Structure 1
Amino acid sequence: MTTHHGHDHKQGHASGACKGHDGHEGRSRGVTVGTDQRWLTAALVLITGFMAVEVVVGVIANSTALMADAAHMLTDSASIVLALIAMRLAARPARGHFTFGLKRAEILSAQANGLTLLLLGAWLTYEAIGKLIAPPEVDGGLMLATALIGIVVNVIAGWCISKANRTSLNVEGAYQHIRNDLFAFIGTAVAALVIVTTGFARADGVATLVVVALMVKAGLGLVRDSGRILLEAAPAGTDPDALGDLMAARPHVVEIHDLHVWTITSDQPALSAHVMVEPDGDCHAVRRDLEHLLAEGHGIDHATIQVDHAPAAEGHCRDPHGPVHRETAHAN
């Protein structure tokens, strides 16, 4: 099997060539904008309302932990606003130079959410180390009560976002922010309880470092997954080589050239390929067979397949007394 990488651009075909075809031309997937926006907006109202209260309480209690939680909630609000904006952009129809629309806006939003989690984790690490070195005096009781209310608020906000389309990396990014904020409040509540019962003020810094570890894990996951899409990598779990071999093994297929598999946006894989069919084969039937294989077996509904007859002079037609020559190209 010979492997070619990159795209070949050719003008004109043999007289027996069949027209290329996009298996789902004009079909629009998009996100469920109306429903998702309502759930995200409900979470945004809860988060911003409690954040304002927490800032006031943090100043009164002299608690840097509560102020850090409030700062985290500020990034939560920003992530939800960013997600809402990205949803509107992604829902716009394709036009002009943007032939796929603005669906990748949600991937940029997910990337931003992942980066902010990592940056916030770095800042909280600095704050936690400072608290371990010189623990401040705080009102443990007020800190505990506020943290417990924060847990309830974040549980409700997280439930709201979980009702939205979490297969979208955009929504998942906002959800990860809320989930880590919930862990932060749980850590703050535990630290406050320890402070109230034992007077061990460094518990706040220890709990913060545990939360930071969870934030870094979530942030790296978002950056990795969104980065794969931005770099046009094959969808996770898809082996382009194995997929190309499977397509080349279908009846009447002689060669597969310029096979590319990538992801347009969350949960929307795409494929393009140049397929050579036996001179006496029905290229339209082959195309339909490949489209069915990709859609039903691999979840690839957006397939652009150019199908041509292989000229007999090039030796690519089926030899009844010998093996079929198949040449498969893989990229990404």
Structure 2
Amino acid sequence: MAHEHSHDDHSHGQEHHGHGHDHDHDYGSLDKRRVLVAAVLTAGFMVVEALGGLLTGSLALLADAGHMLTDSVSLGLAWYAFHLAERPATNRHTYGFGRVKTLVAYTNGLAIFVVGAWIVYEAWERFQQPSAVLGGPMLAVGVAGLAVNIAAFFVLHGGDRENLNMRGAILHVLGDLLGSVAAIAAALIILLTGWYPIDPILSALVAVMLFASAWRLTRDAGRVLLEGAPDVLDRDDIARDLEKSVPGVDNIHHVHVWSLDGKSNLATLHARIADQGDASRVTMLVKQRLASAHGITHVTVETECGPCADGHGNHDCGAAAKSAEHSHSHTKRHGVAGSKNA
């Protein structure tokens, strides 16, 4: 058994990772400001919409105001998550605080489910007992809300949409925007026909439309928090690719691939090699291949010349050796048999 890490290669990987981190830091600073602007716009108009809902009796406005209240808090948390992510790593938090953004994204997804469920419940109650709604004031508040939400949406839309935290923020504002559209549509129908049930019906429709997006956000954030492999990366395909592409590698095993925040991917693996003297070269080539072919720039490689360093995995990392030994034995027996036949 032998182990070797190439410190120079590891440092190179860290430098590469650090360069990418600086780029992400610049992007994060812009996203942080975008989220703060959206939070201020949302919180400011939320008060106006709540008052409008109470005065007009519109569930669509009240539902959207409740959604905007939750969104204001969620956008504030998203801003604070970007703020925390700028802190450097510590001895206790060696990867820094980037995953806080994922935690907030997960919380935002759950919050959308809760608010949506409340809107559906209130819509059902209101549908059972329709109440009068002042269509004119409702239309005015809805149009003003739409303008504010469009402004907030475009502020966030220019951000990094691969970032889960930004995706959560955009989803919240999109929900507000759809709520304003529903309020305007309901107001117009009420003014033209006097049919009040349209108010709760459109409110519930907007809530249901958001459930699918909220589920995707919660699912993706949950996978990151559980350190699952990103959708774009397949552990077994990566192992096969390295075994085929990197000279000197006999077997790749104990591969772990995960993401810090849904964007920055990391990996650890064991590589069994034929000649321990090539350990540094193999480590360098493995890291280069992972960076160029799979976009993984933070990698830890453990090289081995014999059985796997982790005893419980010997059956995995010894598979190739057993296969080679079996092939050699089969050839030898076949050769002996042939000799006897001769």
Q: Shorter-normalised TM-score: what interval? A: 0.7 to 0.9
1:40 is displaced (CA, Å) by 1.4
- Confirm or deny: 8 A CA contact 1:121 1:216 kept in the other structure: yes
- Of 71, 78, 84, the residue aligned with 1:83 is 78
- Of 260, 265, 268, the residue aligned with 1:269 is 265
Deviates more, 1:158-167 or 1:116-125: 158-167
- Confirm or deny: 8 A CA contact 2:252 2:272 kept in the other structure: yes
Relative contact order (alpha carbons < 8 A, sep ≥ 6): 1 or 2 greater? 1
1:316 is displaced (CA, Å) by 5.0
| Paired positions, count | 305
- Confirm or deny: 8 A CA contact 1:261 1:272 kept in the other structure: yes
Residue 107 (structure 1) aligns with: 102
Residue 259 (structure 1) aligns with: 255
Separation in 1 of the partners of 2:150 and 2:64?
A: 15
Deviates more, 1:273-282 or 1:50-59: 273-282
Percent identical residues = 35
Q: Given the two structures, how large is their TM-score scaled by the length of structure 1?
A: 0.86
- Of 296, 302, 305, the residue aligned with 1:306 is 302
**1:1-332 paired onto structure 2 within 5 Å:** 14=2, 17-20=3-6, 22=10, 24-25=13-14, 27-28=17-18, 29=21, 30-31=24-25, 32-249=27-244, 250-279=246-275, 282-310=278-306
Residue 10 (structure 1) aligns with: none
* 1:280 to 1:270, Cα distance in 2 relative to 1, 3 A: closer
- Confirm or deny: 8 A CA contact 2:175 2:210 kept in the other structure: yes
Secondary structure at the aligned position of 1:251 is classed as coil
Structure 1 gaps of 5+ residues are 1-12, 324-332
1:96 is displaced (CA, Å) by 1.8
- Confirm or deny: 8 A CA contact 1:20 1:306 kept in the other structure: no
Large movers: runs of 4+ above 6 Å = none
1:310 is displaced (CA, Å) by 4.4
Looking at secondary structure, tell me which structure has more helix per residue. 2
- Confirm or deny: 8 A CA contact 1:166 1:172 kept in the other structure: yes
Deviates more, 1:279-288 or 1:20-29: 20-29
Separation in 2 of the partners of 1:241 and 1:277?
A: 18
- Confirm or deny: 8 A CA contact 2:13 2:298 kept in the other structure: yes
Give the counterpart letter for 1:25 in structure 2: Q
- Aligned-residue Cα RMSD (Å) equals 2.2
Structure 2 gaps of 5+ residues are 308-317, 329-342
Give the counterpart letter for 1:307 in structure 2: T
